[in-house]
Amino acid sequence: MIQTFQERMCDVCRLLDFDITPKMCGYCGLCDAYICPEDMNNWPRRLKAAIKRKFEPGYKGLPDYENQIKLEGTNEQSS
């Protein structure tokens, strides 16, 4: 289920803890998300994050997701 690990933003941490620091994460095709080792076996947190992500305004799926977060961060800094 989890493929190779890469340094990415963990979806679960971002959605539930507002933590956007890059960490070693594995991609889960079932969740369509990158997940850190701490949350890998924590199914209640993963489920909460998956539901919350589907209701995010402007969510278009994983390929556009990280670019959207970066753009939001630069817009907030320029304000």
Q: What's the CA gap between 50 and 48, in Å, rounded? A: 6
H-only helix segments in 1-79: 11-17, 43-54, 62-78
N- to C-terminal Cα distance for the chain? 41
CB proximity list for 3: less than 8 A, separation 6 or greater: 26, 27, 29
Q: What does the CA dihedral 63, 20, 75, 79 come to, rounded to 10 degrees? A: 170
**pLDDT value, residue 60:** 58
66 pLDDT higher than 50: yes
5-58 pLDDT, tens per residue? 889 999 999 999 988 899 999 988 887 889 999 999 999 999 999 888 888 776
